[in-house]
Amino acid sequence: MKYLKRILGILLIFSMLFFSACGKTEEQEIKSEYNLITTEEAYQRMNENINAVILDVRTQEEYNAGHISGAILVPNETIKDNKPDKLPDLDEEILIYCRSGNRSQQAAEKLLKIGYTNVYDFGGIQDWTYGIVTGEEEPAKEKKEPSMSWFKTTDLEGNAVTQDIFSEYDLTMINVWGTYCSPCLKEMPDLGNISREYNETGFQIIGISIDMFAADGSFSDDKIKTAKEIIDTTDATYTHLLPSNDLIKAKLREIDVIPYTFFVDSKGEIVGKPYVGSKTEEKWKKIIEEQLEAIKNESNQ
Q: Is 22 an annotated catalytic residue? A: no
In SS3 terms, the chain reads as: CCCHHHHHHHHHHHHCCCCCCCCCCHHHHHHHHCCECCHHHHHHHHHHCCCCEEEECCCHHHHHHCECCCCEECCHHHCCCCCCCCCCCCCCCEEEEECCCHHHHHHHHHHHHHCCCCEEEEEEHHHCCCCCECCCCCCCCCCCCCECCCCEEEECCCCEEEHHHHCCCCEEEEEEECCCCHHHHHHHHHHHHHHHHCCCCCEEEEEEECCCECCCCCECHHHHHHHHHHHHHHCCCCEEECCCHHHHHHCHHHCCCCCEEEEECCCCEEEEEEEECCCCHHHHHHHHHHHHHHHHHHHHC
Catalytic hit among 22, 98, 181, 184 = 98
Distance from chain centroid for Cα 7? 15
Catalytic residues: 98
